[in-house]
Amino acid sequence: MEDGVAARRLSCIMRHLHPLPSDDGSSSGRYYEVVPTSGSDGIGKQEDGGKSGDRERVILVVGAGDATGGAIAKKFASEGYTACLVRRQASKMDQLVQDIIDGGGKAHAFGVDARDEDQVVALVEHIEKDIGEIQVLVFNIGANVNFPILETTSRVYRKVWEMASFAGFLAGREVAKHMVGRGNGTIIFTGATASVRGGSGFAAFAGAKFSLRALAQAMARELGPKGIHVAHLIVDGPIHTQWTRGIVKESGQEPDALLEKQGFVNPSDVGDLYWYVHKQPKSAWTHELDMRPWIEKW
């Protein structure tokens, strides 16, 4: 398969995830915060009257999508954390930001390419300096693609690794620099079935998720004695989204029937589990937790 064809196929499959950068590698190199009000350009402004320099308890969600990442952000915001949300396109988080604000929480949305080291460094420094202490990092970028190995180009493999693994390293390292100085903090990496089992057609995805799991283990062993709780949470089952409903239907099943049987992972339940892990006492930390619907085969 030619690179151009593979790129188009990858773009189609990942339409629900962060878009890929341009082929020439260019990037705006700019992060910004979205204020969901009409007529605002959203650049360099804060939500809901927040003052520069206010110290808040912050959860940084890298990969704040409409399902899992959004549910995690809402849960922590409901518990008093300021949610800092990251996707490539900040405008895609307008509704999530508004939902958090409507629920009485605080939220900031940033358009950041999480694979770009300079952008990640600048983002973390900005949050720590102008918003508050990042007490929780959730790295939630997916990059789930399926390609036969003979059709997997180097570009596809590299991009999936960059999104699902390298970006996790960047975010984890930068946040850890601040957490270590304070002697506390929680870093949670979202895993998948492919984190522990490489399935047919998932060489790129499994390679990236295995890598992320190894990163989580290494960081947990290094940072645990310094007071930082590093965990790897595996979602082993379909999360209830419009995208997964479409996949279920294509497989010959009826999504509503599966939902009625509680055969989907409920995003809000995932949010509750992340909160549970974050609140664990130091005497009983979980490093790895796997979750799946009761009818899921494993």
Structure confidence at residue 76 (pLDDT): 98
- The better pLDDT of the pair 78, 16 is held by 78
- Total-model pTM: 0.79
Strands, E assignment, the chain? 56-62, 82-87, 106-111, 132-139, 185-192, 228-235, 288-291
Structure confidence at residue 293 (pLDDT): 86
Inter-residue contact 90 to 19 (CB < 8 Å): no
* Cα–Cα distance measured from residue 153 to residue 256, given in angstroms and rounded to the nearest whole number: 36
Question: Residue with structure tokens 């997997």?
Answer: 152
Per-residue pLDDT reduced to its tens digit, 33-70: 433 322 223 323 333 333 334 489 999 999 998 889 99
Structure confidence at residue 246 (pLDDT): 65
- The better pLDDT of the pair 48, 270 is held by 270
In the chain, the amino acid numbered 228 is: I
Structure confidence at residue 67 (pLDDT): 86
Residues 10-36: what's their mean pLDDT? 36
For helices 68-78 and 267-278, angle between their N-to-C axes, nearest 10 degrees: 50
For helices 117-130 and 167-182, angle between their N-to-C axes, nearest 10 degrees: 30
* Cα–Cα distance measured from residue 63 to residue 140, given in angstroms and rounded to the nearest whole number: 5
Per-residue pLDDT reduced to its tens digit, 136-176: 999 999 888 889 999 999 999 999 999 999 999 999 999 99
* Cα–Cα distance measured from residue 271 to residue 252, given in angstroms and rounded to the nearest whole number: 29
Structure confidence at residue 253 (pLDDT): 75
Determine how many CB atoms are found less than 10 A away from the CB of residue 210. Answer: 18
* Cα–Cα distance measured from residue 107 to residue 58, given in angstroms and rounded to the nearest whole number: 9
Structure confidence at residue 240 (pLDDT): 62
Inter-residue contact 223 to 183 (CB < 8 Å): no
* Cα–Cα distance measured from residue 90 to residue 42, given in angstroms and rounded to the nearest whole number: 9
Per-residue pLDDT reduced to its tens digit, 76-132: 999 999 999 999 999 999 999 999 999 999 999 999 999 999 999 999 999 999 999
Structure confidence at residue 1 (pLDDT): 42
Assign 3-state DSSP to the chain and report helix, strand, coil percentages, each to 5. Answer: 45, 15, 35
Model confidence at 19, in pLDDT bands (50, 70, 90)?
A: very low
> Which strands form 106-111's sheet, in the order they lie side by side?
106-111, 82-87, 56-62, 132-139, 185-192, 228-235, 288-291
* Cα–Cα distance measured from residue 189 to residue 199, given in angstroms and rounded to the nearest whole number: 21
Cα–Cα separations (whole angstroms), residue 124 to 92, 117, 139, 229, 254: 21, 11, 13, 19, 43
Q: What percent of the chain has pLDDT over 70?
A: 76
Give the CA dihedral 264, 212, 139, 246, nearest 10 degrees: -30
